[in-house]
A and B are shown apart, each in its own frame.
Chain A
Amino acid sequence: MSAQGFANSEQGDILEVSLEKIEGLLKGDYGVSKRTIGLLLLQGDDEITALAESREPDNMSEIKEIINYTGKHYVQPLSYIITLRRQEEASRITGIAVEHLPKANLAFREKLSRVMINPLTGVPILLFVLYYGIYKFVGEFGAGTLVDFIETGIFEKNINPWATQIIKPIIPWQAVRELFVGEYGMITLGVRYAVAIILPVVTTFFVAFAIIEDAGYLPRLALLIDRLFKKIGLTGRAVIPMVLGLGCDTMATMVTRTLPTKRERIIATILLALAVPCSAQLGVILSLLEGNPRGLTVWACAVSLVFLLVGFLSAQILPGDSPSFYMEIPPLRMPKLSNVFIKTYTRVKWYFTEIFPMFILASVLIWIGQLTGLFNLLVKALHSPMRWIGLPDQTAVAFLFGFFRRDYGAAGLYDMKKAALLNGNQLVVACIALTLFLPCIAQFLMNVKERGYKTGVAISVFVLFFSFSAGFLVNFILNILGVSL
């Protein structure tokens, strides 16, 4: 608040008098006016109170007394009284300076907004946005057309043979050569997956996300979905990390910081780790189940059911009050091309600098694992859980890859589908288990970083067991009902 904020308050005003007294007692240098500090102290600002405690060794007890004394004069908290004064002053100024013409009709953007927030019309609009934004644009265009072009057209035809040609004469040892251009080589697998499969999918997702974000659709989606999210211990606010999770769960886990309580942050982290597939996975899963609408439906229902069920149960189990929802609804705007471009660019850049080394590392780890036989051991250990959920042994490789990059694993399945190693049921079960399976190593690290070692590890262990149980259950039900997808 400016120094003139209370200039017209009367002399005998207890708030004004106290403020002046506090100003007189403040001796430290704060870089802003003493009045500002005084006002913040009166409003009980934690940070400034702590700061003043360290800088006013002599006067702080007296200042605190003044604040207590002032507080007793009002029924409501001082922060409220000060806000009221500020509001009065702001109204006085705008009253002089601003004139509002009465609007005859609702503007088009307002009409569109009303249609979006009305559940009767808003839910179809949401489905429309999901269908065209995610399924058509990210799934078909990004994961289909673009991936085909970059993977087949660029990598398989040009880069891979070229790299193999170059590496061969330089490195005579077969084992070391494998590190670069083998089946799991850094270039032939690591770079290919990162650039050819993940990059187009993630980029198209971030374009779609930036458009709906810039248009102002997200707050409208938040208010539409608040009631449902309350059931799973979250509020409409959590819709932003959740939708972002459809792009990249690791980034979304970081964004859970914006949720106001620890309880909400934990629930959101669990759900992101378990039941929100990232765009790279989504892309591969959509192409795996392409031409199998029944399979896609079973997958979508199972994953949504897990999302709601686990959310509901966590909300019951975790202590704490249920959160409250409030959000400003900004006017709808035509997305600006430059905004969309900059947002997409920064996100893709972040994603790529985070993920690219991870892919290379994954290639190296797999190479070491193969060389030492450790990898085979782990794959063998995974064979029984695979059989348990009705999948062929080879899927174990995809699942193990899955830990290094969740999408990596899905892409492994993709190779198996091409080789016709999986039938419809197995494909659906594998997709469900892999969607729910352990977060990729980057997300695992982010879980630990954001939620702390204990909670982060606990969430990951829970997810590991849950994914196999869910896969088992779906396989079991499909067999009992004699359904083949």
Chain B
Amino acid sequence: MRISDRAEEIMETLWVHTEEEKEEPIGLGIAKGEPAIEELWKSGHIKLIRDKIVLTEKGTSEGRKVVRRHRLAERLFADILDVKKKLVHPLSCEFEHLLHDGTEDNICILLGHPKTCPHGRAIPDGECCRKFKESVGKAVSPLDRLQVNQRGRVAYIQTRDNKALQKLMAMGILPGIPITLIQKFPSFVFQAGQSQFAVDADLASCVYIRL
């Protein structure tokens, strides 16, 4: 049984609220008697705990998919169809309901498995992204694994250390910047845009380069 558009949107909101933003569950409040809530409850996507709406395991997984479809749609409109930015969000709201298992992965492949939506929020990854990472993971390599004179562009920066991120940002090492490795020993020396920098192995390993 397909659930209604309205019910999908509620799951999307709930998922963003509790899973992404880690907020307390929303109270039932004015949604009481709303048919979409009734529908989700009956289909086992949500449950009520002390008058709070909580996603079930099934609901969490479904909500995540709706968010993924919405943000993929945004990427599609913004990057490929060049839709005016103002329209991206409302259009995507409608479009997300038209995408279903399988189609969304095709769009994801078409877009090159984007990691964030045009607003900078993370796109939950799908099966296709995981397969892609395994097969072509080698096309992206940390800076410290590059060969001398090898060039590429910064794909992303991966570090949990906020200070390291700040340092790289201060040097302007950001996604999209072209990089050529000049030397590996005793320090990593590279050309980034019009400037040259030297970093140690720890910092170099945070920068991932798309070759």
Q: Indicate if the CB atoms of B187 and A227 lie closer than 8 Å.
A: yes
Q: Indicate if the CB atoms of B200 and A12 lie closer than 8 Å.
A: no
* Residues in B whose Cβ lies below 8 Å from that of A83: 169, 174
CB-CB contacts below 8 Å: B172-198 with A: 172, 174-177, 182-183, 185-187, 189, 194-198
Q: How many A-B residue pairs have CB under 8 A?
A: 111
* Residues in A whose Cβ lies below 8 Å from that of B186: 119, 223-228
Q: Indicate if the CB atoms of A236 and B198 lie closer than 8 Å.
A: yes
Q: Indicate if the CB atoms of B187 and A74 lie closer than 8 Å.
A: no
The minimal Cβ–Cβ distance linking B155 to chain A, given in whole angstroms, is: 13
In the complex, A158 has a CB within 8 A of chain B: no
* Residues in B whose Cβ lies below 8 Å from that of A219: 198
Q: A114-B182, A324-B164, A326-B167 are in contact. Are A84 and B174 (CB under 8 A)?
A: yes
User: CA–CA, A80 to B20, complex, Å?
Assistant: 19
Out of A10, A84, A117, A326, name the residue touching B200 (CB < 8 Å): A326
* Residues in B whose Cβ lies below 8 Å from that of A87: 172, 174, 176-177
In the complex, A370 has a CB within 8 A of chain B: no
List 18 other contacts, CB 8 Å, given A100-B194, A225-B186, A325-B187: A72-B20, A73-B121, A75-B116, A79-B166, A79-B169, A80-B169, A119-B185, A223-B198, A236-B187, A236-B198, A325-B198, A325-B200, A326-B198, A326-B199, A327-B197, A327-B199, A328-B196, A329-B198
Q: Which B residue's beta carbon lies closest to that of A100?
A: B194
Q: Indicate if the CB atoms of B198 and A75 lie closer than 8 Å.
A: no
Q: A75-B122, A226-B200 are in contact. Are A324 and B167 (CB under 8 A)?
A: yes
Q: Which B residue's beta carbon lies closest to that of A74?
A: B120
In the complex, A55 has a CB within 8 A of chain B: no
The minimal Cβ–Cβ distance linking A67 to chain B, given in whole angstroms, is: 14
In the complex, B85 has a CB within 8 A of chain A: yes
User: CA–CA, A9 to B120, complex, Å?
Assistant: 12
* Residues in A whose Cβ lies below 8 Å from that of B20: 72
Out of A14, A77, A80, A223, name the residue touching B189 (CB < 8 Å): A223
The 6 tightest CB contacts between A and B, nearest first, are A10-B85, A223-B198, A329-B196, A223-B187, A325-B200, A72-B21
Q: Indicate if the CB atoms of B197 and A326 lie closer than 8 Å.
A: yes
The minimal Cβ–Cβ distance linking A73 to chain B, given in whole angstroms, is: 6
* Residues in A whose Cβ lies below 8 Å from that of B42: none
In the complex, A11 has a CB within 8 A of chain B: yes
The minimal Cβ–Cβ distance linking B52 to chain A, given in whole angstroms, is: 19
The minimal Cβ–Cβ distance linking B179 to chain A, given in whole angstroms, is: 14
Out of B85, B86, B195, B203, name the residue touching A324 (CB < 8 Å): B203
* Residues in B whose Cβ lies below 8 Å from that of A224: 186-187
Q: Indicate if the CB atoms of B21 and A324 lie closer than 8 Å.
A: no
Q: Indicate if the CB atoms of A91 and B176 lie closer than 8 Å.
A: yes
Q: Which residues of B contact A (CB under 8 A)?
A: 20-22, 85-86, 88-89, 116, 119-122, 162-169, 171-172, 174-177, 182-183, 185-187, 189, 194-200, 202-203
Q: Indicate if the CB atoms of B183 and A117 lie closer than 8 Å.
A: yes
The minimal Cβ–Cβ distance linking A120 to chain B, given in whole angstroms, is: 10
* Residues in A whose Cβ lies below 8 Å from that of B197: 326-329
User: CA–CA, A291 to B169, complex, Å?
Assistant: 53
The minimal Cβ–Cβ distance linking B103 to chain A, given in whole angstroms, is: 25
Q: 9 interchain pairs (CB within 8 A)?
A: A10-B86, A12-B119, A73-B121, A118-B183, A222-B198, A224-B186, A226-B200, A328-B197, A329-B189
User: Which among A81, A84, A325 has the highest number of chain B CB atoms within 10 Å?
Assistant: A325
Q: Which A residue's beta carbon lies closest to that of B186?
A: A227
Out of A11, A73, A226, A324, name the residue touching B120 (CB < 8 Å): A73
User: CA–CA, A117 to B21, complex, Å?
Assistant: 47
User: CA–CA, A331 to B88, complex, Å?
Assistant: 44
Q: Which B residue's beta carbon lies closest to that of A15?
A: B120
The minimal Cβ–Cβ distance linking B55 to chain A, given in whole angstroms, is: 18
The minimal Cβ–Cβ distance linking B2 to chain A, given in whole angstroms, is: 28
Q: A72-B20, A227-B187, A326-B200 are in contact. Are A80 and B165 (CB under 8 A)?
A: yes
Q: Which A residue's beta carbon lies closest to that of B166?
A: A79
Q: Which A residue's beta carbon lies closest to that of B197?
A: A328
* Residues in B whose Cβ lies below 8 Å from that of A100: 194
Q: Indicate if the CB atoms of A325 and B120 lie closer than 8 Å.
A: no
The minimal Cβ–Cβ distance linking B162 to chain A, given in whole angstroms, is: 6
The minimal Cβ–Cβ distance linking B203 to chain A, given in whole angstroms, is: 5
* Residues in B whose Cβ lies below 8 Å from that of A331: 196
Q: Indicate if the CB atoms of A14 and B119 lie closer than 8 Å.
A: yes
Scan A62-84; emit 1 where CB is below 8 A from any B CB, else 0. 00000000001111110111011
Out of B162, B167, B203, name the residue touching A77 (CB < 8 Å): B162
In the complex, A29 has a CB within 8 A of chain B: no
Q: Which B residue's beta carbon lies closest to that of A16?
A: B119
User: CA–CA, A402 to B86, complex, Å?
Assistant: 75
Q: Indicate if the CB atoms of B198 and A327 lie closer than 8 Å.
A: yes
The minimal Cβ–Cβ distance linking A112 to chain B, given in whole angstroms, is: 13
